[in-house]
Amino acid sequence: TGYTVGDYLAERLAQVGVKHHFVVPGDYNLVLLDKLQNNANLIQVGCTNELNCSMAAEGYARANGVSACVVTFSVGAISAFNGTGSAYSENLPLILISGGPNTNDAGQHHILHHTLGHAGDYGYQLEMAKKITCCAVAVPRAAEAPRLIDRALRAAILARKPAYIEIPTNLAGAACVRPGPISAVTAPVASDKDALKAAADCASQYLGGKLKPVILVGPKVGRAGPDAQQALLRLAEAMGCAVAVQPAAKGMFPERHPQFVGIFWGQVSTDAADSIVHWADAMLCVGTVFNDYSTVGWTAIPDIPLMSIDMDHVTYPGAHFSRVRLAEFLTLLAADVAFNDTTMVEYGRLRPDPTTPHTPERDAALTRREMTRQLQGILGEDTSLFVETGDSWFNGMQLRLPAGARFEIEMQWGHIGWSVPAAFGYALRHPERRTVIMVGDGSFQVTAQEVSQMVRWRLPITILLVNNKGYTIEVEIHDGAYNKIKNWDYALLVQAFNGAEGKAKGLAANTAGELADAMLVAAENKDGPTLIECRIDQDDCSRELITWGHFVAAANARPPRQA
């Protein structure tokens, strides 16, 4: 057969930089999967379910910049909506592609399988997708496919948000014209020159006359394109001021840099970062997100006038500037901003003395603190560390990242279980990096199946499974019987995933010594994942979690405003 709609989609995905794409087959997408598989530049990766499929694509987009997830209608897509929501809230261009009903069925008022059972009405999925993507299209006939596919891909790439493309099962193999130059889809939109200049002038005005400026780094810096973090570094060094980082942005500013002053997270900040942030009289907020979790239940919102530098606009007390790209603005500002290291000088006076964590005896019962100490010990320039929603967030914040180490966290969406499939997707794109996951037992139970994919693809991912017997974050926010879970034999589970040929290893660590030994086994295992079940006491949680949980619970409990 000649060139088809499926070939067009495959070629465009390859051209925008998708290589691995994540799929679960279903009779609405089988022909489409054939076409994608036939493209030599694409590698098709089957997942155990569509939630994991979409989360693997979310993780792949963190590594690759853009990703694709291909599912069947409704029963597949509605599960994949969860990873799509994650990509939306984490600013990642995940392309969700769903097979759809044969184009003849609507007009014949047919009731179809996998749908809600309304005769002829299958439009509800597109409507739902519109809410969680920046662009959602359903191809009605082959002639419309090129225009709609290009539109959806361009929208996602420019907005750093997911897009949705629905391809009816009888159109994937339908004849289609070939695409024009890919630049029509991928060419970036530069800043508006006047707005860029005016914004930079206002920034100098905003900073002029201030005595103690700081920079606060937020998670959108990591999503604003490859040159954004370099531009941030240049601006920071041009100013010489203290640079604090929000928890969701950990790793987006080098932690060994002399101007790094820690994670600003209110009362659970690290390295006294909150002291210097509250001492400042001017703050450049670069890519920041102030939500209930990052402000510790609204108790840690900076109370001075801010200059906010977002992915495509700049706002400050005097004005708003649209279409100003983050990296271009930072670069321009770095060129003429005044040097002012007052906050660094002051920080030098209040920086806490470094502590050397206690090294317990080998046979000491394993603790959260010891697990974190040993995890710190294996971090290297090639490490990519995924920290899962749970006390793992707080353990992760205590780590000091070596130069080159990368850190992945999902603090906006916060879907427990994200880290297992997301790290799987990420590791396929970065086989040269050492991917490590720190995940709690409750989270692990949500998406554990994807460990079998790590076995299948022989990915040497290290999984530190923190077994504290339940949902400890929830215990600290608000306890109840529902926070208890059925314990698994996690180390043995890996044997089940191995079957006859797998090379994964599963170990349990009850003591400091057993963990140290297991870490060595993990470092040696290059042919598959190594899961280390770290058994700790169910109340062995970080003090930061307890403090943070107290204020988040208070925020959740605010009484309804009297009408």
Chain positions contacting Mg ion, by CB under 5 A: 440-442, 468, 472
| Element containing residue 222 per DSSP (H, E) | none
- Least CB distance to Mg ion at residue 540 (A): 10
Interacting span for ligand DPX (CB under 6 A) from 153-161, 190-198, 199-207, 389-397: 389-397
The interface partner of residue 415, options being ligand DPX, Mg ion, none and the CB cut-off 5 to 8 Å by kind, is ligand DPX
DSSP state of 417: T
Of positions 220, 415, 456, 535, contacts ligand DPX by CB under 6 A: 415
- Least CB distance to ligand DPX at residue 252 (A): 23
- Least CB distance to Mg ion at residue 391 (A): 7
Which lies closer to ligand DPX via its Cβ, residue 150 or residue 410?
Answer: 410
Helix (H/G/I), strand (E/B), else coil: 267: strand
CB atoms near residue 254 (< 10 Å): 19
The interface partner of residue 474, options being ligand DPX, Mg ion, none and the CB cut-off 5 to 8 Å by kind, is ligand DPX
The interface partner of residue 218, options being Mg ion, ligand DPX, none and the CB cut-off 5 to 8 Å by kind, is none
What the block records as the tokens of 469 is: 């017997």
- Least CB distance to ligand DPX at residue 425 (A): 18
Report the length, in residues, of the chain. 563
Give the whole-angstrom CA distance, residue 91 versus residue 84: 10
DSSP assignment of 68-129: EEEE-TTTTHHHHHHHHHHHHHTT--EEEEEEE--TTTTTTT---TTS---TT--THHHHHH
Which lies closer to ligand DPX via its Cβ, residue 104 or residue 556?
Answer: 556
162 binding ligand DPX? (CB under 6 A)? no
Give the whole-angstrom CA distance, residue 117 versus residue 414: 33
Subset of 465-504 contacting ligand DPX (CB under 6 A): 468, 471-474
- Least CB distance to ligand DPX at residue 441 (A): 4
544 binding ligand DPX? (CB under 6 A)? no
What the block records as the tokens of 520 is: 């060595």
- Least CB distance to ligand DPX at residue 22 (A): 19
- Least CB distance to ligand DPX at residue 421 (A): 13
| Alpha helices (H) along 27-103 | 30-37, 50-64, 77-89
The interface partner of residue 408, options being ligand DPX, Mg ion, none and the CB cut-off 5 to 8 Å by kind, is none
> Tell me, what amino acid is at 108?
Q
Among 351, 422, 342, smallest CA distance to 385 is for: 422
The interface partner of residue 473, options being Mg ion, ligand DPX, none and the CB cut-off 5 to 8 Å by kind, is ligand DPX
> Tell me, what amino acid is at 19?
K
- Least CB distance to ligand DPX at residue 55 (A): 10
Subset of 192-221 contacting ligand DPX (CB under 6 A): none
Contact letters for ligand DPX, residues 422-461 (x by CB under 6 A): ------------------xxxx------------------
Of positions 191, 295, 389, 435, contacts ligand DPX by CB under 6 A: 389
Give the whole-angstrom CA distance, residue 112 versus residue 276: 61
- Least CB distance to Mg ion at residue 534 (A): 11
**CB-nearest residue to Mg ion:** 440
**Dihedral sign (CA 234, 240, 244, 250):** positive
| Element containing residue 184 per DSSP (H, E) | helix 183-186
Which lies closer to ligand DPX via its Cβ, residue 64 or residue 468?
Answer: 468
391 binding ligand DPX? (CB under 6 A)? yes
The interface partner of residue 59, options being ligand DPX, Mg ion, none and the CB cut-off 5 to 8 Å by kind, is none
Helix (H/G/I), strand (E/B), else coil: 133: coil
Give the whole-angstrom CA distance, residue 467 versus residue 367: 11
Query: Can you say how many angstroms the Cα of residue 112 is from the centroid of all Cα atoms in its chain?
Result: 36
Give the whole-angstrom CA distance, residue 274 versus residue 280: 10
Which lies closer to ligand DPX via its Cβ, residue 188 or residue 480?
Answer: 480
Backbone angles phi, psi at 57, to 5 degrees: -70, -35
Give the whole-angstrom CA distance, residue 356 versus residue 557: 38
Q: Going by C-beta distance under 8 Å and a sequence separation of 6 or more, which residues neighbour residue 489?
A: none
- Least CB distance to ligand DPX at residue 358 (A): 22
Contact positions vs ligand DPX (CB under 6 A): 389-392, 414-416, 440-443, 468, 471-474
